[in-house]
Structure 1
Amino acid sequence: MTADGKSSKSKERPPMIGNILGIDTTTGFLGIIARRGEECVSVTANTGFRHGEQVLPWIETTLAKLDLTPRKIELVVTALGPGSFTGLRIGLAAAKGLAAGTGAALVGVPTPDTFGHRYGFFEGTVYPVIDARKKRFYSAAYENGQRVTDFLDCTPEELIAAATDRPRSLFTGPDAALLATLFPGGTPPETIRIAPSPVELTALLELGLREFEQNGPLPENSGPIYLRKSEAEIVRDAHSPDPGNV
């Protein structure tokens, strides 16, 4: 009740979540993490983008290590990209299917945010590096764990120039080592640190839980984060008739 005697409605706090499942299929690495209370188990496997045939078996295996079944999961967290078009669709479809079939809540986390969160302690600017193909990379800039730019779809030269302009920078993520080889002379300057990491699953769970507590579940019509058209869309558009000539 307010000071003038009128009742007020506060945002209802979501219930405490104990059993959480996290899924990351952003790149060729498949990452699964499960938490039961204070216990946590995770697995990371280089599946070569064969996520469609491996994501569900790996989920079952990971849950079994904590004596959990899908129906005991209360929250499903999925990485939203940007990254592999097919991988992201598979991960989100698996997450939505589990949530719908078990009644668990579903939230999504942008993949670069997990790396920015993991290196929130770094005194400088953090750049997650995800190979976007076509000699480009997906990234974003983070300071103190917070994203300070939009998501980027950029050339290696653009990303290297941005990091070089900062007093101290750190490249992380699954393709940080690849980007490091593209520096002039093949070696980054002393102001730039390279810390490759295929996935950041603990950060995925932490950010997913925060997202659920602050904003609730992912809207039903939500999809992955795409910064460009897929190859299938490009081919389709190339073969579609020009509306102006119809």
Structure 2
Amino acid sequence: MPILALDTATLVSSVALATNDTLLAEITLQTKKTHSELLMPHIVKLMDMAEVAKSDIKAVAVSIGPGSFTGLRIGLSTAKTLAYALNIPLVGVPTLSAMAYGCPVPGVILAPMLDAQKGNVYQALFEWQQGELKEIEPAAVIHVDVALEKLSQLDRPVILLGESAVMYKEKIKQIGKNLIVAAPHIIIQRASSVAGLGHKLIAQGIQHDVMNLEPVYVRRSEAEVLWERRHGITV
């Protein structure tokens, strides 16, 4: 059952086609071009490369955040449109969970971290237990210094994933201890991981309504905060 998977949660644009046990094709690109420019052309190219027709796609899996507000909206609106037009299931996959899913290393803590601006990161903690990915701490916004200090106090090696692991690589090296920056091929989010986790969710009977699935922002957008300040609203 081929799944089309999309991840536009950061500057990385990634699309993949995969069955439950085979990655058919993947395009992952870091560029200054916007997701609105790249996403649909990449999907068309991906399907052509894999020789998969629209009628062959059985579901759409999409990364739903946290991450870039604009990127998440573009990815989700595209996924919804495709699922609706093709009349196939849609499943939303938490971005940080998908990143951890792509790093199946037992005996360590996995700490995906994405930029939340102003020195903050989106972070969740995971570990593999008996071949299954388990969430230890849910997604939250935390200052990077606090996050790294807490992680350095853990009694196990911690593998840091995501754009913030790259941004703060030197800071992480200075702390040293048990903190390990993931290798380049797994440090960024990839649609193949979204597809893999999407398959598992669908197998568990989890699907999402095309009309009601929303991004997981974790915090409000800067535009919302500024609007509330201008109108004297406090939350």
> TM-score by structure 1 length?
0.84
Q: Separation in 1 of the partners of 2:191 and 2:230? A: 40
**Structure 1 unaligned residues grouped into runs of 5+:** 1-17
Partner of 1:210: 200
Partner of 2:170: 181
Q: Separation in 2 of the partners of 1:161 and 1:241? A: 36
CA-CA distance at 1:176 after TM superposition:
1.1
Is 2:140 aligned against 1:135? no
Q: Separation in 1 of the partners of 2:147 and 2:74? A: 28
Contact 2:159 2:181 in 1 (8 A): yes
Is 2:196 aligned against 1:222? no
Partner of 1:231: 222
CA-CA distance at 1:190 after TM superposition:
3.8
What is the correspondence of 1:34-113 to structure 2 with a 5 Å cutoff? 34-35=17-18, 38=22, 40-48=24-32, 50-113=34-97
Contact 1:29 1:49 in 2 (8 A): no
> TM-score by structure 2 length?
0.88
Q: Separation in 2 of the partners of 1:22 and 1:138? A: 22
Contact 1:60 1:69 in 2 (8 A): no
Q: Separation in 2 of the partners of 1:93 and 1:217? A: 16
2:14 to 31, 37, 49: 31
Q: Deviations over 1:47-73 (max 9, x none)?
A: 336001211111110011111233431
Q: Separation in 1 of the partners of 2:19 and 2:204? A: 21
Root-mean-square deviation (CA), in Å?
1.9
Deviates more, 1:105-114 or 1:117-126: 117-126
Look up the SS of the partner of 2:188 in the other structure.
Answer: coil
Q: Separation in 2 of the partners of 1:194 and 1:73? A: 35
Q: Percent identity?
A: 25
1:169 to 158, 164, 168: 158
Q: Separation in 2 of the partners of 1:214 and 1:178? A: 36
Distance 1:132 1:49, change over 3 A: farther
CA-CA distance at 1:182 after TM superposition:
2.5
Q: Separation in 2 of the partners of 1:74 and 1:45? A: 25
Distance 1:116 1:104, change over 3 A: same
Q: Compare CA radii of gyration and give the structure with the larger one.
A: 1
Contact 1:49 1:87 in 2 (8 A): no
Contact 2:23 2:192 in 1 (8 A): no
- Tell me how many residue pairs correspond in the alignment: 224
Instruction: Choose between structure 1 and 2 for higher RCO, CA contacts under 8 A separated by at least 6 residues.
Output: 2
Deviates more, 1:94-103 or 1:160-169: 160-169
Q: Separation in 2 of the partners of 1:237 and 1:90? A: 24
Q: What amino acid is the match of 1:166?
A: L
Q: Separation in 1 of the partners of 2:219 and 2:190? A: 24
Q: Separation in 1 of the partners of 2:139 and 2:160? A: 15
